[in-house]
Structure 1
Amino acid sequence: MPARLKAVVAAAAILSSLSACAAAPKAPVFWEGFRDHPHGYLVGKTAPDASAFLPPPPEAASLRQRADVETYRATRALEGSERWRQAAADNVIETPSAPQAFNEPLGISFDPHRLPTLTVLLGRMLGDLELIQTPAKQGYFRPRPFVAEPAATCIAPEPWLARSGSYPSGHSAMGWAWALILSEMAPDRADAVLARGLAYGESRVICGVHYASDVEAGRLVGAAMVARLKVDPDFQRDFERARKELEALRRAQD
């Protein structure tokens, strides 16, 4: 074969290889925790401010505060139970696999690699939540129940947890927001998904790291976040892609 022809054939082979590489789908790369967590969809003043719409937490001598404390004390009796262990498992919120909490109501095994768009969408919502809730958490700075009255908790509280505000509950906001989104993507499973979203928040009371009123406020924050995200073009685009991913996985796992 003439040298020139050999060069042409070699160049064609290289181009073909490069084209195949470009066409091959890239494996998704996910984060590991808070340090490398993706940012949210909203920025600055485009996000709701929880301190502007949430009522303040219950006052120290109020009936509601007394009820919060009584609930905290009563739920310490759940230590060691199955519900206690579930509350500990529900503490996971920042990893790509955290939405596995909704496996049973959705009837799937949540796999980030098979649901890359949905995984990132739900993860980015945590970034939005931090932006929305931080003014209220820092502004009200309600001491957490295990700080005000030390007792057993379902997790070993890290120092930063004791230094962060209890009101509103971020986990409750996230669990309810995820439930709202997933129930829309899988309407035939909506009742079970929403029930799981409520239980995800209740786990914070059982765990002893939040009061019941923190959880209720968190759900308000989660609903406000979803309402705002629903009119964000980037979120809407990802929502449709994620919905199709979930539908395909549900069909495959039936």
Structure 2
Amino acid sequence: MQKSALLVSVALVLTPVSALAREAVFVTPEQSEAILIVPPPPADGSEAHQADLARLHEIERTRTPQQEEAARADAGNQTIFMFKPLFGDVFSEANLPLTVALARRVFEDAKVNVGAAKHLYNRKRPYAADPTLHPACPTTPKDDSYPSGHSMVGWLLGLTLVEMVPERRDDILARAAGFAFARNICGVHYPSDIEAARALAYAVHGALAQNPSYKTELAAARAELRKALNLPETP
């Protein structure tokens, strides 16, 4: 058995049954090599870990009530509609059934792939490691901080959307970055959790781009979205 397949197999054996409830649609963790792409998180007490905590304390000191409110809203919206502010009211489920259907399937792949790494590393949440932090969003008792699942979803959906509307690439990726940073504003993820999610999202997206089913669904969703936005078929 190849090293990547062996490592994934070990990770899945160690994963609780509840974490295996989801199934990949287009790309499995073995195909994306999720647990090879993401290095181990900083060890507790290490210099890198202390830097992570220091950054969170800095964010906590400087975050505004408005930022906290926006971060809580993002915490409750892991859908393609996190990007609605970029496109307006036309960006709705009623107008974009194919786009929404594809986004839901990409969401599943995001969760399955990030889950493989989460359950391999079992990193404590920052507020569990440092009780002097004061999270601004709902917390969880699970040791599953690394990588950030919300950030993974935001980046992977953003990269999918960039393929549909490349003209808005910068805006889309800026929104994905802001959605990810909201997890730091919340105080529920370390900065390194966010960085790992971004790296993993790009790796999974690269694998998605090679999947025939994904490419077929993407082409249909892209045509639908561009028509709704009154954009030419080819940018």
Give the TM-score, by structure 2 length: 0.81
2:101 corresponding residue in structure 1: 120
Among residues 117, 126, 147, which one is paired with 1:145 in the alignment? 126
* Partner Cα distance (2:110, 2:221) in 1: 19
* Partner Cα distance (1:91, 1:116) in 2: 23
Determine which structure has greater relative contact order: mean sequence separation of CA pairs < 8 Å that are 6+ residues apart, divided by chain length: 2
1:188 corresponding residue in structure 2: 167
- The residue identity in structure 2 corresponding to 1:242 is A
Q: Structure 1 residue 130: deviation in Å?
A: 2.4
- The residue identity in structure 1 corresponding to 2:169 is A
2:152 corresponding residue in structure 1: 173
Q: Structure 1 residue 38: deviation in Å?
A: 8.5
Which ranges in structure 1 are unaligned for 5 or more consecutive residues? 1-36
2:13 corresponding residue in structure 1: none
Is the 8 Å Cα contact of residues 59 and 184 (structure 2) preserved in structure 1? Answer: yes
Which ranges in structure 2 are unaligned for 5 or more consecutive residues? 1-20
1:49 corresponding residue in structure 2: 33
- The residue identity in structure 2 corresponding to 1:61 is G
Is the 8 Å Cα contact of residues 47 and 128 (structure 1) preserved in structure 2? Answer: no
Q: Structure 1 residues 208 and 53, CA, compared in 2 at 3 Å: closer, same or farther?
A: same
Worse overlay, 215-224 or 78-87: 78-87
Structure number with bigger Rg: 1
* Partner Cα distance (2:72, 2:40) in 1: 28
Please tell me whether residue 135 in structure 1 is matched to residue 119 in structure 2: no
* Partner Cα distance (1:142, 1:125) in 2: 25
Q: Structure 1 residues 38 and 109, CA, compared in 2 at 3 Å: closer, same or farther?
A: farther
* Partner Cα distance (1:45, 1:210) in 2: 22
Q: Structure 1 residues 229 and 103, CA, compared in 2 at 3 Å: closer, same or farther?
A: same
Q: Structure 1 residue 45: deviation in Å?
A: 6.5
The alignment partner of 1:168 has SS state of: coil
* Partner Cα distance (1:43, 1:126) in 2: 11
1:62 corresponding residue in structure 2: 46
What is the Cα-based RMSD across aligned positions, in Å? Answer: 2.2
Is the 8 Å Cα contact of residues 152 and 197 (structure 2) preserved in structure 1? Answer: yes
Q: Structure 1 residue 74: deviation in Å?
A: 1.7
* Partner Cα distance (1:226, 1:205) in 2: 23
Q: Structure 1 residue 73: deviation in Å?
A: 1.3
2:138 corresponding residue in structure 1: 156
List aligned pairs for 1:12-31, cutoff 5 A: none
1:233 corresponding residue in structure 2: 212
* Partner Cα distance (1:186, 1:44) in 2: 26
* Partner Cα distance (1:81, 1:101) in 2: 20
Worse overlay, 76-85 or 134-143: 76-85
Q: Structure 1 residue 80: deviation in Å?
A: 5.1
- The residue identity in structure 1 corresponding to 2:59 is T
Give the TM-score, by structure 1 length: 0.75
